[in-house]
Amino acid sequence: MKSSFFKQIPPQILARLKTIDLDVPSQNAHEAMNELLQKSVLFGGKRLRPLLTYLFGEFFEVPLKDLDVYARAIEMVHAASLAHDDVIDEATTRRGKPSINIQASNKKSVLAGDYLLASVIGELCREGRLELVSEMAQVIELLSQGEWLQSDLISSRAYTRENLEEIAHKKTASVMTWCSVAPALVKGSQKEVVGYARQFGHHLGVAFQMIDDTLDFNGDGQKDGLLDLRNGQINSVLFEWLELHPDIKERFQRGEDIVPFFNENGLDQALDKVRTKAKEHMERCRDILEVLNKEIHGPGQDSKKKPLLFILDSLEARQY
């Protein structure tokens, strides 16, 4: 993220992000496994999920130190999902470096991802908060369901707007939801407040994925999008483009390689449709945040919500 972005983040949260410990939290951790994770899926990254967790902690007035374990947990679960995805997708690079399966092997990548998940659940259990263990178990369950659904659709090519949004909810929004719900649970918020936090995470995650889909058509990203298309995997932009080309869509559904038929006719229209839908989800986030703010801080007390509104604006406008 750009330095101008971080200038808008409360300094106490930046300090927390800089010191977050992402070593595998176990005295019995295999040194080689931890080293592999640090060189691959735990290397670099935006740390967006810990950032959101801490921002919501500030919003719910939870001491930041009480959220360290939960901010670390969601980044590690995200990293585990990347390790598994790199194997499933037969990836070769991630964040400009050889992907984990290239650095090691498919077998070790899966084992390392599994080890991360087990470490997270173990650490959460030691905190003694059963509701947070259950919440994280649901995140991991949804990630698996989302990947399974995506795999089925690659084979069947029976894509709809509804199942693409379901994948976004399970693979992206599930993780974002933890960032808003975990601080609410730590605070001991009422069920209604937790429900609003859960809705926020859903809409943010779906919008985030849709914006990601549009970025696949910036510069070299289109090459990756077309490679996915050749392999039977499409995102929300390609779906809308196919809707505008029913003859090509029919070929795609029959299992043909339609990359030679891809053209930019209608692409702008497809991009606009997805951006509009993403914007609608972001507006729902803003509405929900307003409700939460009034519930927790009272009318006219806006200082706590401003960093979260800034994040929403930044994610909606991002170009990378």
pLDDT tens string 121-151:
999 999 999 999 999 999 999 999 999 999 9
What is the Cα–Cα distance from 201 to 289, expressed in whole angstroms?
11
Say what the pLDDT of residue 69 is. 95
Question: What's the average model confidence in pLDDT over 246-251?
Answer: 96
Bridge partners (DSSP) of residue 93 are: 98
pLDDT at position 298 over 60 = yes
For residues 205-228, one letter each, b for 16 or more C-beta atoms within 10 angstroms of the residue's C-beta and e for the rest, the string is bbbbbbbbbbebbeeeeeeebbeb
**Digit-coded pLDDT (tens) for 193-216:** 999 999 999 999 999 999 999 998
DSSP state of 190: -
| Strand positions, DSSP E, 87-222 | 93-94, 97-98
Do 116 and 136 contact (CB within 8 A), yes or no? no
Pairwise CA distance, residues 268 & 226, whole Å: 16
What's the one-letter identity of residue 107?
A: K
Per the model's pLDDT, the better-predicted residue between 130 and 48 turns out to be 130
Write out pLDDT tens, residues 74-97: 999 998 888 887 777 777 777 677
The pLDDT value given to residue 221: 52
Predicted pLDDT at 318: 84
> Which tokens sit at 172?
């992206």
Residue ranges of domains in the chain, CATH in brackets:
3-317 (1.10.600.10)
Q: Which amino acid is at 87?
A: V
State residue 198's pLDDT score.
98
pLDDT at 173: 97
* pLDDT tier at 226, thresholds 50, 70, 90: confident
Q: Provide the whole-model pTM.
A: 0.90
- The pair of structure tokens assigned to 250 is 């029919």
Between 184 and 109, the higher pLDDT residue: 184
Closest C-alpha among 231, 221, 251, 239 to residue 320: 221
Contact 103/40 with Cβ under 8 angstroms?
yes
Residue 98, φ and ψ in degrees, nearest 5:
-55, 135
